[in-house]
Structures are given as structure tokens and as C-alpha cells.
Amino acid sequence: MKKGFVVLLTIILVLALAFTGCASQKPAEPAAGDTSWDDIKAKGYMTVGLDDSFPPMGFRDEKGDIVGFDIDLAKRAAELMGIEVKFQPVVWSGIIMELNNKNIDLVWNGMTITAERQEAINFSKPYLANRQIIVVQKDADITTKADLAGKKIAVQAGSSAVDAVKSDEATYNSLEGMVEFPDNTAALLDLAAGRVSAVVVDEIVGRYYIAKKPDLYKVLEENFGDEQFGIGIRKSDEAFRAELQKAIDTMITDGSAKEISEKWFGADIVLK
């Protein structure tokens, strides 16, 4: 009788534990497959989001066509991937939201890789090195960051220049103010008009403008730090990112990236 009771008790306990375990565990969610590259192939094109007033990376020529260094790279990459490419101008300050909302497939437009952006999106390998330079009027009595104390400076809204300046607390706190413009063209126009004392901008872009108006602007020796450009892609789109990276790597090995770089910069400045 005692032995039978023990057996019965054991059975009851086992059943109780089994039911408790089932109640406490939620059914496992099936892992979603990454169809990002298949989706791109199915529609036949990738949509590149960009600021179309960001020369020489991406801008409109006198005919109104979108041209530039990144434009040529994206076209060549699409060719290697066997798809088409479309370019979608987007307000830069909202471009990550546009990407994550799937209004565009990637951001290819001299986008600086930052820790903050890496929390929201993924990047390709870096393909260009860059710095945040300080541009002032040619005859300005400004030679260092210390000379910016009590003055207004300009940056593009949503650009890495904003974070670069703010990270230099001593300089940032000494400013009268930092004005954010929708694009660098507007910021440099305000500098030319004397409404701001300096513009902090990507070196590649700033040098392009200065080359066109060497009698108007100059660049200070000091800057707000080194950076690298990458192509922004949604975190969920690993398959697409891998395929795109293959195309970029091929462009470097077959010399087409070098050819495009020499067209826009007169030298091969693409990172290997």
C-alpha cells in the first residue's frame, strides 16, 4: 500500500511539473527569413536615398539631372548586381526614418559612419575617409577654433557636422550659436553674405565648393575630427547588404571605382 502511494504521488508530481512547464513557456516564434536581396531582384531595382544638393557626392547638374561621385558608384554597383538603380531625393535630417520606413532601400550619399547611426541602421565597409573642416571667408580674421568664440557658425541639419561640433564642448560652448541649414549650399551662401562666421562641413564637399570659388573661402588648419563614409542599409537587410558589398569589392578590384574617383577628384581616394 505504501509503495503504491509513492508511485501515485510520483505520477501526480510529474504531471504537475509538465503542465507547469507548458504554461510557463511561450511557443517559439518562427525565425523570419531574410528576403531582402530576393525582394530587390524581384522588383528589378534598388532605390537610393540622397540629398541632391551635396556635390560632388550627389547633386543636380545644369540640366537638372542627378549626378555625382556616389551616383556613378551606385550605377556601377547596380550594373554588377544585374539590377537598375533609382535615385530618391530626401530631406537629409529625416533620411534614416525614410530608410527604416522602407521608402528607400539604402543611403548612398557621403554618409558618415557614427555610433549613433549604427544604433539605427547598418553600414557597408567604409569606402572614403573624410574630415569635418571649418570654412571661413578668405579675408576673415579667424585662424583657429578659439577664434570662433562669440560667433555664429553654420552646419547642415542632420549631418555629422552637428555631432562633431557638439563633441568639442569647449568650442561649442564658446559659440554665440550654431545655425542648422537644410543643405550645405544654403549654409555657404550665408557665410558668403556674412550672416555666419564659419561653416563646418565634410571636407570632400567643402573642397569642391572652395575649388569653384577660391577667392571667397578658405579652410582652417584645425578641424572637428576624422570620419569615414559608408552606405546605410536597414539592419534587417543583411542579404542585400552582402550582395551590395560584393559589388563594391568587385569595383575596387576591377578598377572601376578608381576610374570613377579620378573622374571626380583627380585621384584614387577610395578606401581599399
If phi > 0 it is left, if psi is from -120 to 50 it is alpha, else beta; for residue 7 that is: alpha
Average pLDDT on 175-202 reads 96
At 220, is the secondary structure helix, strand, or coil?
A: strand
pLDDT higher than 80, residue 20: no
pLDDT confidence tier of residue 31, bands split at 50, 70 and 90? very low
CATH topology of domain 130-227: D-Maltodextrin-Binding Protein; domain 2 (3.40.190)
> Given this model, what pLDDT does residue 263 score?
93
> Given this model, what pLDDT does residue 32 score?
58
pLDDT higher than 80, residue 190: yes
Query: What average pLDDT does the chain have?
Result: 88
Q: Is the four-CA dihedral 205, 208, 214, 216 of positive or negative sign? A: negative
Q: List pLDDT tens digits, range 33-61.
A: 899 999 999 999 999 999 999 999 999 99
Integer Cα distance of 200 and 181 in angstroms: 11
36-128+228-265 in CATH: which number?
3.40.190.10
> What ranges do the domains of the chain cover?
36-128+228-265, 130-227
Residue 229 in contact with residue 128, Cβ under 8 Å? Answer: yes
